[in-house]
Structures are given as structure tokens and as C-alpha cells.
Amino acid sequence: RLEGTAATVALAISQGADIVRVHDVREMKKVAVITDAIVRGYNAKT
């Protein structure tokens, strides 16, 4: 379940999502920050 959620969050962010709703907040925050850094060029700070 965690890997599927991570993939979905990364894909959503790469397609322009700014907000995602998840249950595993700590883990998905890391995915979101890293995906932002890759896709949008943001400074990756967790």
C-alpha cells in the first residue's frame, strides 16, 4: 500500500497537483518534497 501511494503522489505532483490527501503523512511528505525538487526545481528540504 505504501509504495502505491508514493507512486500516486509522485505522479499527481508531476502532473501539477499542489495538494494531496494521504494517511501516511510522514512518508508522503518525503515523496512530495523529493518530487517537487525533481519536477519543479524546488530546494529539497525534508
Rounded to whole angstroms, how far apart are CA atoms 23 and 16?
20
Q: How many C-beta atoms lie closer than 10 Å to residue 6's C-beta?
A: 19
* pLDDT one-digit tens code per residue, 1-38: 999 999 999 999 999 999 999 999 999 999 999 999 99
* 44 pLDDT more than 70: no
pTM for the model stands at 0.84
- What is the pLDDT at residue 41? 84
Compute the distance between CA of residue 15 and CA of residue 24 in angstroms, rounded to an integer: 21
Cα angle 41, 13, 32 (rounded to 5 degrees) comes to 75
